[in-house]
Amino acid sequence: MKNVNEKHKDTVFTFLFSNPDLLRELYSAIEGITLPPDIPININTLSDVLFRTQRNDISFLINNRLIVLIEHQSTINNNMPLRFMMYSAKLYQEITEPEDKFKRKLEKIPKPEFIVLYNGEDNYPDYKELRLSDSFIQADIKIDLPLELVVQVYNINKGRNQEILSKSRTLENYSRFIDKIREYQKEYQWKYKEKKEILDKSFRSAINYCIKNNILKDFLKKHSSEVINMLYGEYDPEVEMRVVREEALEEAHEEDYHRFFELLNQDLTKEEIKERLRQERKTF
């Protein structure tokens, strides 16, 4: 299990859209534009920053814009603007030279865009904006805000935002694939008792159905085993926590083990937890 997780930390979404051509198609569909194939895409995703054990975000540079894109299969976290702000700061640090911030001449940086594609089961509108200013204390005061960050949330479930889905066949097929997994889960929960068996049957049945019906056919035929491993991490929180424990044992000092999980419950990433532990050790 440990080796599988180290090899497959992506979700199916990030694994699928790590292809620059598919990412260009997806971004064009969301923006309602057509980007020519010769416009380059530079993927610069940071690992393990926004979420704990899975990387379901993709950040990339395209057409002088810095895009951070996330696929969400659970309830939308209203603190996403805050997370995006912290994430973008680290991204800009990565894509700029250390001395740039000390120059007298104004350094031009790519314009940021923050996009969430919601694919969860809770009812959610087709489109919603989350703003950092909503979290400000006394934000109702009518003044110009010195800091703002807007997250665009699109619902990509079956039957939602059809204009976007119609322009990105890959995204539409991905949405159909996820919908098929859920359909089989509902069917198999009455046939099998063990959760692992329900998940396994659902994943394999959905993959077989999609291959037969030309839904992500080539992708699923080529990567079926990797997809199943990723789906276990996405759909089974027990598997996810077991992976976290394994990594904690490997990466944390023995005396930090219990503290590691205390910090994990504060919704910090592994890198943030490790940095916090390093700082705490310095104080003793």
pLDDT grade for 56, boundaries at 50, 70 and 90: confident
Instruction: Kindly state the tokens that stand for 198.
Output: 């329900």
Cβ-contact 115, 68 below 8 angstroms? yes
> Does the structure show a pLDDT above 80 at 284?
no
Residue 263 lies in a domain: no
Q: How many domains does the chain have?
A: 1
> Does the structure show a pLDDT above 50 at 5?
no
Residue 194 lies in a domain: yes
Mean pLDDT of the chain: 82
Residue 271 lies in a domain: no
Residue 131 lies in a domain: yes
Residue 275 lies in a domain: no
pTM higher than 0.95 for the full model? Answer: no
pLDDT grade for 76, boundaries at 50, 70 and 90: confident
Residue 283 lies in a domain: no
Cβ-contact 27, 35 below 8 angstroms? yes
**What domain range is 213 assigned to?**
2-251
Residue 264 lies in a domain: no
> Does the structure show a pLDDT above 80 at 79?
yes
Residue 278 lies in a domain: no
CA triple 121-205-11, angle to 5 deg: 55
138: left (phi over 0), alpha (psi -120 to 50) or beta: left
